[in-house]
């Protein structure tokens, strides 16, 4: 599995709800392994970006599974933690606008409002339920990835916000995009 297996818009599956995992099977474990390999492959192909997480739908598997990089600030850390059937049980704190990108929305970034604290319930690969509280950027990651399991892409949250769309230039800097061009982009919508 490589970065080439990551689907992107306008693939319709990215706007479909994923199915609940009812049993941890070898197939589910392979999906998790494939997700990790695809994210690492994408990550090594990008100079100015880090793949911090991925949802199973992004490799065209409509199952409620996400993986999150253990240390998203360290590109050399290739450890990802799987969350099966992740669910946000509590949104808390302030709503903060910050930049997000997505492996399935190539070259587009957005300034997206998100809660800065969440509580997430999930199942691990042993079938045991667990819960974590995430703050700051990690809270943003969970909201972004769990949106994927609900058939939502980050640009759907900002589609009417003219000042919120950006592109990463060759120097790794974000530049605002012309909203009229974004709005007419049939790949995105």
What does each C-alpha distance from 11 to 36, 143, 167 come to in angstroms?
21, 21, 20
Among residues 41, 177, 14, which one has the least CA distance to residue 102? 14
Is residue 6 within 8 A of residue 59, CB to CB? The reply is yes
Token couple for 48: 């100015």
Token couple for 91: 């949104």
Among residues 41, 59, 61, 60, which one has the least CA distance to residue 51? 41
Give the DSSP letter of residue 5. Answer: G
Instruction: Please tell me which residue in 61, 145, 180, 181 is annotated as part of the active site.
Output: 145
Instruction: Please say if 181 is a catalytic residue.
Output: no
Is residue 97 within 8 A of residue 113, CB to CB? The reply is yes
Looking up tokens 């994408």, which residue turns up? Answer: 42
User: Which sequence positions are flagged as catalytic?
Assistant: 145
């Amino acid at each position: 599995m490589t970065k080439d297996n990551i689907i992107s818009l306008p693939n319709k599956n990215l706007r479909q709800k994923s199915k609940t995992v009812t049993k941890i099977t070898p197939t589910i474990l392979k999906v998790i392994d494939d997700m990790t390999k695809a994210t690492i492959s994408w990550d090594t192909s990008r100079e100015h970006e880090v793949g911090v997480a991925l949802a199973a739908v992004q490799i065209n598997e409509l199952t409620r599974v996400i993986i999150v990089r253990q240390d998203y600030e360290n590109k050399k850390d290739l450890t990802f933690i799987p969350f099966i059937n992740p669910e946000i049980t509590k949104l808390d704190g302030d709503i903060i606008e910050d930049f997000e990108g997505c492996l399935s929305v190539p070259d587009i970034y957005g300034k997206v409002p998100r809660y800065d604290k969440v509580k997430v319930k999930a199942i691990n690969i042993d079938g045991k339920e667990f819960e974590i509280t995430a703050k700051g950027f990690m809270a943003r990651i969970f909201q972004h990835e769990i949106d994927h399991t609900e058939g939502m892409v980050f640009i759907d949250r900002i589609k009417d916000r003219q000042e919120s769309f950006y592109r990463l230039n060759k120097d790794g800097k974000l530049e605002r995009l012309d909203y009229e061009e974004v709005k007419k982009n049939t790949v995105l919508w």
